[in-house]
Structure 1
Amino acid sequence: MHMNGPVNISRNERLETCHEIASRLHEVYGEKILAIGVYGSVSRGTDGPFSDIEMFCVLNESSESVDFSYEWSAGPWKAEVEVRSADVLLKTASTVEGSWPLTQGLHNQKLFSTGSMVLPEALELPSRPEGFDNVVRMVMSGELSEPSKIVSVCENFWNGLVKWAAEHDYVISTKRIPF
């Protein structure tokens, strides 16, 4: 019987699939490839029996910039391969956008292990604004049914964030249109 969805796969099977994907990328893009890499839990060696495969493929710069992602599920496993030309990758790496500090732990120079671990791992960072821990614990617990408590905790965090930002020479811009 064929099951749809994730199936328990060993690390060796997952790595074999990574090599298979890399071979296919070489067939499709050939000499345009500058680099192929694996990221996420597979690259860190923390992948579990149901982890997905995340890879990137960097192409030489050409007259057209390349920036797209293949994402698919092949029966028991899921994979995502980002394909970018070098110019797009360098532009992305040099850009700080709205969610970047959250996902990368900019101030503490922390790279979180997974999206689902951002909040628990953020509680371990050495520099946190006053009130941050209470907001994080409230969200993680799911206790979000009392509006007055939510407002109070958020107000405390905002005040702590303003103070923390000033202490670290960060400017919080509140302009409606920042340019």
Structure 2
Amino acid sequence: MLPYPAPTTREEKMKLVAQIKDRLLQLHGDAILAIGLYGSLAQGIDGPYSDIELRVITKDGFSLPGHEFIYPPFKIEIGMKQKREAMRSAATVDDSWAIKAGAYAHLQAIYDPDRLLDEIRTRPMHISDEAIRDVMREFMIWEPYETMGKIRNNKLAGNHGYLALGAKDLAWQSAKLIGLANKTFYTTRARTYEESLQMPSRPSGYDELIELVTRGQLHDSELVYERCEHLWTGLNEWFGEMGIEYKLDKLPF
């Protein structure tokens, strides 16, 4: 087994975080408004192989390049955003909102003299129900609808090897929709399925497909296909209950 990725303690990670903070401030001074830690390390649920994720907020008009690199035994990701861009990005809703919003909502201040991160942390929830519904409508067309078409095509063609991949895609896409519908973001990507099953609003057929996906029981292609069809029916019924119509009765032009 290769010695990397290598395990490190939380204390070792936080010591490097402090060094990075000091280095950035030494180089750029008051052009940096805030430095925040996010991800599992910020939430206190990191493991020995977790990476270090930092978000740096700079003054408007002062741009710095981001960095993602290996500095053995650590992996570090440093995102750089100007203040106006950070505020806008934190309040943006798209199909990955439930996966990515925590990167702002869970920011832990490492350097924040003016408490800017307090405001940024609240921004992900400043999204309207209408915006969420619009994103769900668009995403249903872009991903689940297309995925289900591929699943049916490959079933008809006898390419049963694709069905497991299609099932994973449909499950992940549905989890993103569930987070949006419940206006709830996931703590980490790794816990998405676990947390989605606890949310009150979710389509019928979802739990059953997730059971197969999370247990790796995707060898029975007929069962996998059946569960995908059940979830697809459930997704459409669920959209109907929410009053989200994604099909048109006339050309849009």
How high is the TM-score relative to the length of structure 1?
0.82
Task: Give the counterpart of 2:92 among 84, 91, 95.
Answer: 95
Q: For residues 103 and 57 of structure 1, what CA distance do their matches in structure 2 show?
A: 16
Matched residue type, 2:219 = S
Q: How big is the alpha-carbon RMSD for the aligned residues of Structure 1 and Structure 2?
A: 2.5
- Displacement of 1:59 in angstroms is 1.0
Q: State the SS of the aligned residue for 2:67.
A: strand
- Displacement of 1:55 in angstroms is 0.7
Partner of 2:240: 166
List aligned pairs for 1:2-81, cutoff 5 A.
5-62=4-61, 66=63, 68-81=65-78
Distance 1:82 1:171, change over 3 A: farther
Matched residue type, 2:18 = H
Matched residue type, 2:193 = L
Q: State the SS of the aligned residue for 2:53.
A: strand
Q: For residues 172 and 138 of structure 1, what CA distance do their matches in structure 2 show?
A: 28
Q: For residues 84 and 245 of structure 2, what CA distance do their matches in structure 1 show?
A: 30
Partner of 1:149: 223
- Displacement of 1:138 in angstroms is 1.6
More helix by share: 2
Contact 1:42 1:53 in 2 (8 A): yes
Partner of 2:210: 136
Matched residue type, 1:135 = L
Q: For residues 34 and 90 of structure 1, what CA distance do their matches in structure 2 show?
A: 13
Q: State the SS of the aligned residue for 1:8.
A: coil
Matched residue type, 2:60 = E
Instruction: Give percent identity, aligned residues only.
Output: 33
- Displacement of 1:103 in angstroms is 5.5
Contact 1:162 1:172 in 2 (8 A): no
Q: For residues 188 and 247 of structure 2, what CA distance do their matches in structure 1 show?
A: 29
Distance 1:56 1:137, change over 3 A: same
Contact 1:34 1:58 in 2 (8 A): yes
Gaps (5+ residues) in structure 1? none
Matched residue type, 1:50 = Y
Gaps (5+ residues) in structure 2? 102-178
How high is the TM-score relative to the length of structure 2?
0.60
Contact 1:60 1:86 in 2 (8 A): yes
- Displacement of 1:102 in angstroms is 5.5
Does 96-105 or 122-131 show the bigger shift?
96-105
Matched residue type, 2:208 = N
Matched residue type, 1:6 = P
Distance 1:9 1:102, change over 3 A: closer
Distance 1:102 1:45, change over 3 A: closer
Distance 1:168 1:86, change over 3 A: same
More strand by share: 1
Contact 1:36 1:56 in 2 (8 A): yes
